[in-house]
């Protein structure tokens, strides 16, 4: 099939492109820079030049494809409302093009957007109103009743692997800056995780066969205690590991304090049952122990 992929140059999207091509699909990827276009073309994918704000380009590319996988996101935490709105408008644009056709629309979402402190499953509804202004899942799934095979992939907050520039490298940076790896209190809050190649395969499986309206969980490990992540980072950097009292958290983590406190156990049992998805790559701790996270 011919698949239009946004975020095709990103950490996860580039793995999705590779997985799709390996499985025999044709890929048209969105790229907003010369460098991105060149790296995408080198994979064998076609390139659509444009940004998430170029709605005519998004419309034409979606119209010419058998479906859309949307992994692009403007990660601007200083103006997250604008990022969330650009995402909503892009997804709505895809939904309107695909409406009535039965074609797939697969969008990236996050388990961390769903709830905190209790185990979530694929049947757990997204909160309304959302905790932060990102409604990828809600926007896409509205089209499930309008003849679009719309699905959402809820990604673990740590999608890991070589080239990661997400939350785990951020934790490593805080440890370097502070001379110690840290966790909050007992460090008993948990983060689920998934390797990027396993996440990529789930995007493809969803595109190929997930029924309309499904929420799917890209979580290999259901929840790793934050203390264990901090201890592994401390060992990797050769730094001490410490617990932070409540009044130390802001000073250590700054803007990241909210994310460091995430307690987000997330099962993927239904995703595995529905799609036969089986993660095959290493877990987060083993990936950290491999050393590549600590070579700058």
Ligand X SMILES: NC(=O)c1ccc[n+]([C@@H]2O[C@H](COP(=O)([O-])OP(=O)(O)OC[C@H]3O[C@@H](n4cnc5c(N)ncnc54)[C@H](OP(=O)(O)O)[C@@H]3O)[C@@H](O)[C@H]2O)c1
Residues at the contact surface with ligand X, assessed by CB under 6 A = 7, 9-13, 30, 32-33, 36, 51-52, 71-75, 108, 110, 155, 157-159, 166-167
For ligand X, the closer of residues 51 and 124 by Cβ is 51
End-to-end CA distance of the chain: 39
Which residue carries 């009535």 as its tokens? 100
User: Considering the complex, what minimum distance in angstroms separates the CB of residue 235 from ligand X?
Assistant: 22
**Beta-carbon contacts of residue 200 (< 8 Å; ≥ 6 apart):** 12, 15, 16, 18, 19
For ligand X, the closer of residues 113 and 180 by Cβ is 113
Which residue carries 């995402």 as its tokens? 87
For ligand X, the closer of residues 30 and 275 by Cβ is 30
Among 114, 147, 292, 141, which Cα is nearest to 218's? 114
User: Considering the complex, what minimum distance in angstroms separates the CB of residue 171 from ligand X?
Assistant: 12
User: Considering the complex, what minimum distance in angstroms separates the CB of residue 76 from ligand X?
Assistant: 8
User: Considering the complex, what minimum distance in angstroms separates the CB of residue 121 from ligand X?
Assistant: 17
Contact (CB, 8 A) for 292 and 163: no
Compute, in degrees rounded to 10, the torsion defined by CA atoms 124, 259, 182, 293.
90
User: Considering the complex, what minimum distance in angstroms separates the CB of residue 287 from ligand X?
Assistant: 12
Residue least distant from ligand X (Cβ): 10
CA–CA distance from 183 to each of 132, 231, 232, 283, 294 (Å)?
Answer: 23, 9, 12, 20, 19
For ligand X, the closer of residues 40 and 180 by Cβ is 40
| Residue 129: cis peptide before it, omega within 30 degrees of 0 | yes
For ligand X, the closer of residues 158 and 249 by Cβ is 158
User: Considering the complex, what minimum distance in angstroms separates the CB of residue 15 from ligand X?
Assistant: 8
For ligand X, the closer of residues 180 and 205 by Cβ is 205
């Amino acid at each position: 099939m011919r698949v239009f992929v946004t975020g095709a140059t990103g950490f996860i999207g580039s793995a999705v492109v590779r997985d799709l091509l390996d499985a025999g699909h044709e890929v048209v990827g969105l790229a907003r820079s010369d460098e991105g276009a060149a790296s995408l073309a080198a994979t064998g994918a076609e390139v659509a030049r444009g940004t998430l704000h170029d709605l005519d380009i998004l419309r034409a590319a979606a119209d010419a494809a058998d479906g859309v996988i949307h992994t692009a996101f403007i990660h601007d935490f200083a103006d997250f409302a604008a990022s969330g709105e650009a995402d909503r408008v892009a997804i709505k644009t895809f939904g309107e093009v695909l409406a009535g056709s039965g074609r797939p629309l697969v969008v990236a979402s996050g388990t961390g957007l769903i709830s905190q402190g209790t185990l979530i499953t694929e049947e757990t509804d997204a909160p309304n109103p959302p905790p932060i202004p990102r409604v990828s899942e809600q926007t896409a799934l509205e089209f499930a009743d309008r003849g679009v095979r719309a699905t959402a992939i809820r990604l673990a907050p740590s999608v890991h692997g070589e080239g990661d520039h997400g939350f785990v490298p951020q934790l490593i940076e805080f440890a370097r800056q502070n001379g110690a790896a840290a966790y909050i209190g007992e460090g008993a809050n948990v983060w689920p995780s998934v390797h990027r190649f396993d996440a990529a395969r789930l995007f493809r499986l969803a595109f190929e066969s997930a029924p309309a309206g499904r929420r799917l969980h890209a979580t290999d490990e259901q929840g790793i205690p934050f203390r264990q992540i901090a201890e592994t980072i401390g060992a990797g950097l050769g730094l001490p590991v410490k617990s932070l009292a409540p009044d130390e958290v802001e000073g250590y983590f700054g803007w990241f304090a909210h994310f460091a406190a995430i307690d987000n156990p997330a099962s993927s049992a239904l995703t595995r049952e529905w799609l036969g998805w089986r993660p095959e790559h290493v877990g987060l701790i083993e990936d950290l122990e491999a050393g590549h996270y600590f070579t700058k």
